[in-house]
Structure 1
């Protein structure tokens, strides 16, 4: 890949990780205005509507029907499963810690890429993955030792499952629909994913109060248009252009931004366990990536 093209991809990575990092603060604060599933339905409904409008204006058209079953799977994994689990877990887990746990996704993507994409793993890369996994258990384990409530531990486990679901969707995308337009993929998977989230919201949160004001509308619009429609389209573009490990390493910036924004805007405490675990996860992914490039 040419140097100029690499620079563009790195800039795009920085933009989407900033958007996703800040979005964690809004996702947490949105729970004061509506239920977690209801907010997700509004967020991704807005994102899907935005992308479908862009597809229509640009006259791109919908993808061939033979791809729809794959897009449904990606939508259910990346949009429905990930954000139903994450938004529910945010009722028990701090936004900063949640972002660290979800963005353990690169570890799971790397492991799955070895099995399903044929990417080879060497001792240094394996070491990096092990260090990252130790960091993950450090975040969860230290909290357990100091007497965290069971619901917090349950929330942490839900976010880890969400990270694995996202990793699976990355591999599934590369194997089945990477040849499609990124706008088509992002629009259709988000549309199908929104259907799953909306059904969950209707079943679990029907009749619960919803507060619409300037703040809650801002939360929906920012996370729906920028952190979902724009960011996930860019994400599909990135993982279609470069290898999975290099692409996913960029997302480790999100916990850094998420923890920073959560500390500054929500007053969440950066504990020793969170900081140590975060450092280990980042070190593990860096080790794995540097080893691959060499």
Structure 2
């Protein structure tokens, strides 16, 4: 398993963890659909120059490498990823309104269990090391995120749906990333997510340019870094990688969001939360250990 892929996914998790701060600030000025639509379209626009530059390099190197099936996989994969991303991010955005951040973080990160469970039905196998890492990660996330009694309210259910949708997003990327260019796939998914989020934004939130401009800092971070950079790192990093291990690395987003709140917003971490972070990192290391392939 290439170390470079793991580092790409870790960097994506760091960017997303910090993006929680941007999302919370941005929601003070614009609605959830509006925030999702603008950040996604910015993310897609940021990738266009990169696609143009990489396209010219590929054309000068070898123009015979393009295949008709690649274009089909690229379009279908990008739209499929965009639909999953649109549904997942908006369910999360509105779910956070009705639940605590700690509960939302824990429930969202349940995709680390959902991914391998769904993967079983798709014929994907996981070693005992990975299942042990999943259990450790859940324990760490519980210690890190749950600070009060656990109950399932309206917001919790919305975020639980979000966790299932993020699981599907990871598996869809796992299916299409080896078949299509990662940057182009990421760009198409953002355009799809932005357009789909923009429809309810125009119908129900009636966004104003003045409100969007007031939130320019969090929107630009969420658009350029969280969308344009991090999701592209996810697509590239997941190529030829076990989706369960990928989901474990990406779940570090929860740890980093707490650390970002501590560093940027001055929120203190308890001993229990620090212990949760340590267990989470231990789970990631366990999942990365070399394993013997069993037929």
* Structure 2 length-normalised TM: 0.78
Q: Tell me whether 1:198 sits opposite 2:204 in the alignment.
A: no
8 Å CA contact 1:143–1:273 kept in 2: the answer is: no
Alpha-carbon separation, structure 1, partners of 2:264 and 2:225: 19
Tell me what 1:12 maps to. Answer: 8
8 Å CA contact 1:135–1:281 kept in 2: the answer is: yes
8 Å CA contact 1:96–1:259 kept in 2: the answer is: no
Tell me what 1:242 maps to. Answer: 241
8 Å CA contact 1:75–1:191 kept in 2: the answer is: yes
> When the two structures are aligned, how many residues end up with a matched partner?
281
Tell me what 1:156 maps to. Answer: 156
Cα deviation code 1:19-45 (max 9, x no counterpart): 111101110111111111111111001
8 Å CA contact 1:19–1:231 kept in 2: the answer is: yes
Cα deviation code 1:221-244 (max 9, x no counterpart): 111111111111111111113222
Q: Does the C-alpha gap of structure 1 residues 136 and 15 become closer, same or farther in structure 2, counting only changes over 3 Å?
A: closer
Q: Tell me whether 1:52 sits opposite 2:48 in the alignment.
A: yes
Tell me what 1:88 maps to. Answer: 94
Moved more, 124-133 or 224-233: 124-133
Alpha-carbon separation, structure 1, partners of 2:54 and 2:289: 41
Alpha-carbon separation, structure 1, partners of 2:87 and 2:102: 20
Tell me what 2:255 maps to. Answer: 256
Cα deviation code 1:42-92 (max 9, x no counterpart): 100100111233223433799614542332221110x20111111112323
Q: Does the C-alpha gap of structure 1 residues 128 and 15 become closer, same or farther in structure 2, counting only changes over 3 Å?
A: closer
8 Å CA contact 1:105–1:164 kept in 2: the answer is: yes
Aligned counterpart in structure 1 of residue 22 of structure 2, from 9, 26, 31: 26
Alpha-carbon separation, structure 2, partners of 1:69 and 1:42: 23
Cα deviation code 1:234-265 (max 9, x no counterpart): 11111113222222221232111101212343
8 Å CA contact 1:80–1:193 kept in 2: the answer is: yes
Tell me what 1:211 maps to. Answer: 211
Alpha-carbon separation, structure 2, partners of 1:157 and 1:277: 24
How far residue 101 of structure 1 moved from its aligned partner, in angstroms, is 3.1
Q: Look up the SS of the partner of 2:55 in the other structure.
A: coil
Cα deviation code 1:185-224 (max 9, x no counterpart): 101111112111111212221267852456x211111111
Alpha-carbon separation, structure 2, partners of 1:107 and 1:54: 34
Q: Does the C-alpha gap of structure 1 residues 265 and 254 become closer, same or farther in structure 2, counting only changes over 3 Å?
A: same
Q: Look up the SS of the partner of 1:180 in the other structure.
A: coil
Alpha-carbon separation, structure 1, partners of 2:221 and 2:98: 23
Q: Tell me whether 1:68 sits opposite 2:75 in the alignment.
A: yes
How far residue 118 of structure 1 moved from its aligned partner, in angstroms, is 2.2
Structure 2 unaligned blocks of 5 or more: 57-65
